[in-house]
Structure 1
Amino acid sequence: MALAQKGGPFTIKANLGADSVQKVMFVRYTLKTGQHIDTLQPVNGKLTIKGVVNEERQRDQLIVYTAHGTRSVVFYLQPGNITIDYSAEKNTYTLGGTTFNISLNRYNTMFRHLIDSLSAGKQVAANFQFSKEVQQHKFLVIKQFVLANPQSPVSIDVLDDFAIRSKEADMVQAVYDKLSPILKNSPSGIQLADRIKGMRAVGVGDMAPQFTIPDTVGKEVSLSDFKGKYVLVDFWATWCGPCVAEIPNLIKAHDKYKSKNFDIISISLDRPDSKEKWLNKIRETKMDWTQVSELKWWNGKSALLYNINSVPANFLIDPKGNIIAVNLRGEMLEKKLAEIL
């Protein structure tokens, strides 16, 4: 199975059920083109969508609004004919038509079997699939799927999804090692390898992973440029409310300790289509320390190496490059800086 896709025309034929489907949101996102949301009106629960997709492998989403609530389906947007069929009896979607979607449907079927086995004879909540009980067993499904499909891009996508929320680096590594060499050497494979490194290397007492990232004018900034200083590596984003709320505390700490061998590097996890928002927020809040971003959302190399799966997140690094504290906010940051400076 090819890892990447060639751009080309696509047709989606979706049978979304006849239970009073009111509208459908077609949500698309790629790093190159940003986010696009289209509102569509199905006829008798059926929908045909035609367009052109670029070469990026992308998982998109249909959000279906009915008289009884909402439901959604994730699928791969590929050139060719894509089929999406909803079963009201089973409350599930069947994907087909293109290679990635056939493979994803195979994984979804395995995962549904897990849900059915764990919920048999029980009264479970609607969000049972996200419960701790299910997540503990989910990895076994992923492992089984990867072993059976070591060359499928779906394998690396589902493993990466699990790794984002996991702290079990050895478990993820063991399954990663079963992927085909071609898949491991692909951009997604290299990205997952960096994430696994980050799962192992960002605790207190570890050496801080090195990075080089462009600043607001495109100049490359490296962590090594700050060697000999105490530096707070701060991960944030303009779309993150708690991150923005924390900015006054960062300003206060920077103003108070910048003359005492302390500095801040703020790394934004904004997307390519949000660059102006990022620049405007810096100006608006008057953050006058180093601001950098790869503009790759969660997929920037620095976010992977520091195993960032939520923001705000920060790491206090000593002059020798060791991580001495993590996730210091508000009074905690002030207290730690007063202690060491």
Structure 2
Amino acid sequence: MRSVLLLIGFLIPIVAIAQSSFVIRGYGKRLKDGEKIFLSYKLPSGFIDDSTVVSKGYFEFKGSMKGFARGYICRNDNPKYAEFLRDRFEVYVEPGIAILKSADTLNNSIISGTILNNDNAILIKKLKPIEIQKRSLKDIDQFSTEELKDTSLVNKTKAKSLALSKESALIELDFINQHPNSYVSLYNLLRISKSRNLLSKVETAFSKLNGTLRELPEGIEIKRRIVESKKIQIGMQSIDFEQPTPTGNMIKLSAYKGKYLLIDFWASWCLPCREENPNVIAAYNTFKNMNFTVLSISIDVLADKAKWLQAIKDDQLPWTQVSDLKKENTAAKIYGVTTIPSNVMIDPTGKVIAKDLKGKELIDFLSKTLSAN
């Protein structure tokens, strides 16, 4: 839903050759003369930003580089300063001539002409029905004050967004399995690997990737996430740890034995975590009298302690909060947390019974589990 500015991917160091030229040409019936078009991508030396102006419904970028990189083109909004990119299109900057055609906006462009952009065009076509539905959802960040007060509307919007994201991920995994030699597959698999609930499917897809792709930095990171995710599995006994509250009181996980406990990993700077907090609060308030509670572990560092404390206050989190405020939180490392928000549910015996329950899934799981006890 949100137009994220950091859409630039990693440098793609598959081919270490001499400088090669690239051309990106864009045509659009509704592109107006004088409109500014921006191109941004990342090289080892840093971000490269370029711009041009539409003339007779046409724009063009030219350049040269070693290898290729992922970037994006946007219309009118300068990515250096804009909070949202209202009209953008992701591209691979690579040797050859890439042609971008649009009947209306950049968002609906069709790209062709170079290897990776051709691969990406196949994926874009598969995802188009989902993307149309995503764009029909209003971004919660753009909700009015009155809309934000409508809890039902907010929850429905979040649930719909989450369902569409899951559907997209499954389509992307199918593409990856069918295109094991494409960097487009590796790039998308890296993003999907942030979802611990999909890591078994990620592992299967990763095993099918070309060996060269698996040895790239992105591939190594995917492998790390897979390995880390296996540290704590459903059915395993939870591993004890001890961390301080904001006031310095040491809290042990084992002190919660006899209760159903949600171990919640988050951080003050993590927007998805902050957006998930109301759902955790709802679960806590609904089931706190049914032998259930929450223990939150922040991966904020010492320099951000004040922000952590303010976030606890602002989000009105009533349960115990702990953090060792280290660069690598000890508990997060024990539990193989590679992305947040993340959580682990343990039963009164300390056994792991669920992982990464969000939104309605959390409420449904607790309702079913606690009503049976």
Which of 178, 187, 191 is the matching residue for 1:144?
178
Equivalent residues of 1:227, 1:320 under 8 A apart: no
Which of 83, 99, 109 is the matching residue for 1:92?
109
Which of 61, 65, 79 is the matching residue for 1:48?
61
Give the equivalent residue in structure 1 for 2:269: 238
Distance 1:193 1:92, change over 3 A: same
Correspondence list, 1:29-108, <5 A:
40=51, 42-44=53-55, 45-48=58-61, 59-64=70-75, 70-77=86-93, 83-88=97-102, 91-94=108-111, 102-108=114-120
- 1:192-251 CA deviation, whole Å, 9 max, x = no partner? 12333466665654356999xxxxxxxxxxxxx96756594522351517528949x7xx
Give the equivalent residue in structure 2 for 1:290: 323
Equivalent residues of 1:28, 1:61 under 8 A apart: yes
Give the equivalent residue in structure 2 for 1:252: none
Which of 336, 344, 350 is the matching residue for 1:315?
344
The one-letter code matched in structure 2 to 1:127 is: I
Correspondence list, 1:1-341, <5 A:
2-3=13-14, 13-17=24-28, 19-21=30-32, 22-26=35-39, 40=51, 42-44=53-55, 45-48=58-61, 59-64=70-75, 70-77=86-93, 83-88=97-102, 91-94=108-111, 102-111=114-123, 114=126, 127=132, 136-146=170-180, 149=181, 152-164=182-194, 167-197=197-227, 204-206=234-236, 232-240=263-271, 243=274, 246=277, 265-268=297-300, 278=304, 281-282=307-308, 284-285=310-311, 289-292=322-325, 305-306=336-337, 308=339, 311-315=340-344, 322-323=351-352
Secondary structure of 2:205's counterpart equals helix
How much has 1:289 moved relative to structure 2? 4.0
Secondary structure of 1:175's counterpart equals helix
User: Counterparts of 2:234 and 2:200 in 1: how far apart (Å)?
Assistant: 19
* Identity fraction in percent: 17
Equivalent residues of 2:186, 2:219 under 8 A apart: yes
User: Counterparts of 2:115 and 2:335 in 1: how far apart (Å)?
Assistant: 26
Distance 1:87 1:48, change over 3 A: closer
Whose relative contact order is higher, 1 or 2, with alpha carbons under 8 Å and at least 6 apart? 1
Distance 1:125 1:59, change over 3 A: closer
User: Counterparts of 2:197 and 2:310 in 1: how far apart (Å)?
Assistant: 36
Give the equivalent residue in structure 2 for 1:215: none
Equivalent residues of 1:111, 1:141 under 8 A apart: yes
User: Counterparts of 1:72 and 1:314 in 2: how far apart (Å)?
Assistant: 34
Give the equivalent residue in structure 2 for 1:259: none
The one-letter code matched in structure 1 to 2:221 is: Q
User: Counterparts of 1:17 and 1:209 in 2: how far apart (Å)?
Assistant: 58
User: Counterparts of 1:202 and 1:109 in 2: how far apart (Å)?
Assistant: 38
- Structure-2-length-normalised TM-score: 0.50
The one-letter code matched in structure 2 to 1:313 is: S
How much has 1:108 moved relative to structure 2? 2.2
Give the equivalent residue in structure 1 for 2:284: none
Distance 1:9 1:169, change over 3 A: same
User: Counterparts of 1:228 and 1:131 in 2: how far apart (Å)?
Assistant: 36
User: Counterparts of 1:7 and 1:61 in 2: how far apart (Å)?
Assistant: 23
- Structure-1-length-normalised TM-score: 0.53
The one-letter code matched in structure 1 to 2:117 is: N
- 1:91-120 CA deviation, whole Å, 9 max, x = no partner? 534355xxxxx44223224335646xxx9x
How much has 1:170 moved relative to structure 2? 4.3
User: Counterparts of 2:191 and 2:348 in 1: how far apart (Å)?
Assistant: 34
> Any gaps of 5 or more consecutive residues in structure 2?
1-11, 78-84, 135-163, 242-250, 282-293, 314-320, 367-373
Secondary structure of 1:172's counterpart equals helix
How much has 1:76 moved relative to structure 2? 3.6
Secondary structure of 1:105's counterpart equals helix
Distance 1:312 1:177, change over 3 A: closer
User: Counterparts of 2:24 and 2:115 in 1: how far apart (Å)?
Assistant: 18
User: Counterparts of 2:60 and 2:325 in 1: how far apart (Å)?
Assistant: 42
